[in-house]
Amino acid sequence: MKIVLLGAPGCGKGTQASHIADRYNLPHISTGDIFREIIGSGTELGLEIKRIIDGGNLCPDHLTVEIVKQRLAKPDCRKGYILDGFPRNINQAIALEEFSSPDVVLNLHIELDKIEKRITGRRNCTKCGNSFHIDFIGNTMRCPRCGNQLMIRDDDNPASVKERLRVYASQTAPLIEYYEKLNKISTIDADKTIAGVFEQIVKVLG
């Protein structure tokens, strides 16, 4: 099963993707995580990507598409995958149709005014890549899943979040209509508990 997760920043894509990966035994491919790994490598390219991401903008399509194309060509993706954070604009969606057309697109829907609270209060694991909200884990900086150090992402600040939401509305939201036309989209109410959202997803995926 080839699954794409669509949704605004902070809608819970990453959390749900990791649950789907566990349940259906599929690789979870997050372009955000891949870019953060490249940043962590400390190369020239990493610095360039950090500047773009911290500004709330999208990384260049040619780079992003190439990274995803190579990742999906690996053997573990033969049985399918969960794409989290790609495609993020029409150009990327068209490219994806050409090299690996997805079976189903889950649109995690939430009102944009709820998002700021979700993102401020978010803590990310430096090791396993999972993210958590302080409403659930409290003030700890230790990952509930793997025990390693939690951090706050550099792009989870109010100015970057504002820009990310603007980019989402102008570039990513049009993908909903794009995938509606291809008859691939299922809309999920993302303004529920983690379990409540996952339950809806399982109903769609079967």
Of the candidates 149, 145, 150, which has an alpha carbon nearest to the alpha carbon of residue 134? 150
Which residue out of 13, 50, 166, 192 is catalytically annotated?
13
Buried b (16+ CB within 10 A) or exposed e, 127-165: eebbbbbeeeeeeeeebeeeeeebeebebbeeebbeebb
Distance of closest approach, residue 136 Cβ to ligand ADP, in angstroms:
17
> Would residue 51 show up in a list of annotated catalytic residues for this protein?
no
Cβ distance to Zn ion smaller for residue 35 or 132: 132
> Would residue 88 show up in a list of annotated catalytic residues for this protein?
yes
The window from 74-82, 115-123, 137-145, 187-195 that contacts Zn ion (CB under 5 A) reads: 137-145
Cβ distance to ligand ADP smaller for residue 85 or 102: 85
**Long-range contacts made by residues 156-160, C-beta under 8 angstroms, separation at least 24?**
156/119, 156/120, 156/122, 158/116, 158/120, 159/56, 160/54, 160/55, 160/56
Q: Is 7 left (phi over 0), alpha (psi -120 to 50) or beta?
A: left
- Which residues of the chain form contacts with ligand ADP (CB under 6 A)? 9-10, 13, 31-32, 35, 52-53, 57-59, 64, 85-86, 88, 92, 164
| CB contact set of 170 (below 8 Å; sequence gap of 6+) | none
Which residue out of 2, 36, 50, 122 is catalytically annotated?
122
Residues 143-172 within binding reach of Zn ion (CB under 5 A): 143, 145-146, 148
Distances (CA, A) of 65 to 70, 146, 186: 9, 31, 24
Which residue out of 2, 36, 88, 123 is catalytically annotated?
88
Distance of closest approach, residue 35 Cβ to ligand ADP, in angstroms:
5
Distance of closest approach, residue 206 Cβ to ligand ADP, in angstroms:
26
Which residue out of 69, 153, 184, 192 is catalytically annotated?
153
> Would residue 13 show up in a list of annotated catalytic residues for this protein?
yes
Active-site residue set: 13, 88, 122, 153, 164
Query: What are the residues binding Zn ion (CB under 5 A)?
Result: 125, 127-128, 143, 145-146, 148
